[in-house]
Amino acid sequence: MAPRKQREIFAATLRLLADKGYDGLTVEGVAETSGVNKTTIYRWWPSKAALLAAALVEADMLDFDVPDTGSLRGDLVALVEALGVLLTEPPGRDVAVAALGAAVHHPEIDARRFFADRLARERVVFERAVRRGELPESTDPMLVMDLLAGAMWTRAVFRGLPLGKDFAAEAVAAVLDGVS
Amino acid sequence: MAPRKQREIFAATLRLLADKGYDGLTVEGVAETSGVNKTTIYRWWPSKAALLAAALVEADMLDFDVPDTGSLRGDLVALVEALGVLLTEPPGRDVAVAALGAAVHHPEIDARRFFADRLARERVVFERAVRRGELPESTDPMLVMDLLAGAMWTRAVFRGLPLGKDFAAEAVAAVLDGVS
Number of domains in chain A: 2
Segment A110-146, tens digit of pLDDT: 888 899 999 999 999 999 999 999 999 999 999 999 9
Contact A148 B143 (CB under 8 A): no
**Is the same domain home to A11 and A79?**
no
pLDDT at A100: 84
Segment A150-173, tens digit of pLDDT: 999 999 999 989 999 999 999 999
pLDDT at A121: 96
The mean pLDDT value for A6-33 works out to 94
The mean pLDDT value for A50-57 works out to 94
How many Å apart are CA B171 and CA B160, to the nearest integer?
A: 17
**Is the same domain home to B146 and B68?**
yes
**Is the same domain home to A148 and A80?**
yes
**Is the same domain home to B24 and B73?**
no
How many Å apart are CA A63 and CA A57, to the nearest integer?
A: 8
**Is the same domain home to B77 and B163?**
yes
Segment B25-49, tens digit of pLDDT: 999 999 999 999 999 999 999 999 9
pLDDT at B82: 96
**Is the same domain home to B54 and B68?**
no
- For residue B139, report the phi and psi dihedrals to the nearest 5 degrees: -60, 135
**Is the same domain home to A48 and A22?**
yes
Last residue of a domain, one of B58, B85, B103: B58
Do residues B71 and A180 touch, judged by C-beta distance below 8 A? Answer: no
How many Å apart are CA B155 and CA A44, to the nearest integer?
A: 30
Mutant choice from B22, B158, B179 vs A, greatest count of A C-beta within 10 A? B179
pLDDT at B165: 94
Residues of chain B with pLDDT below 50 are none
Interface of B with A in 34-63 (CB under 8 A): none
Average per-residue pLDDT in chain A? Answer: 94
Residue of B nearest to A161 (CA): B112
DSSP characters over B78-143:
HHHHHHHHHHHSTTHHHHHHHHHHHHHH-GGG-HHHHHHHHHHHHHHHHHHHHHTTSS-TT--HHH
- Which letter does DSSP use for residue B159 in this model? S
**Is the same domain home to A93 and A166?**
yes
Query: Does the pLDDT of residue A104 top 80, yes or no?
Result: no
How many Å apart are CA A95 and CA A155, to the nearest integer?
A: 18
Residue A127 domain boundaries: 64-177
pLDDT at A106: 84
Contact A158 B134 (CB under 8 A): no
**Is the same domain home to A27 and A44?**
yes
Task: Give the residue from A131, A130, A127, A96 showing the smallest Cα distance to A114.
Answer: A96
Q: What is the ipTM of this complex?
A: 0.93
Q: Which residues of chain A does B103 touch, with a Cβ-Cβ cutoff of 8 Å?
A: 158
**Is the same domain home to A76 and A7?**
no
Q: What is the CATH number of the domain that holds A24?
A: 1.10.10.60
Do residues B17 and B98 touch, judged by C-beta distance below 8 A? Answer: yes
Q: What is the CATH number of the domain that holds B90?
A: 1.10.357.10
Contacting residues for B30 by C-beta, under 8 A, at least 6 apart: B9, B12, B13, B16, B36, B41, B51
Q: Exposed (0-12), middle (13-18) or buried (19+): which is B157, by Cβ within 10 Å?
A: buried
Residue A171 touches chain B, beta carbons under 8 Å: yes
**Is the same domain home to A79 and A166?**
yes
**Is the same domain home to A126 and A163?**
yes
The mean pLDDT value for A70-93 works out to 95
Last residue of a domain, one of A11, A26, A58: A58
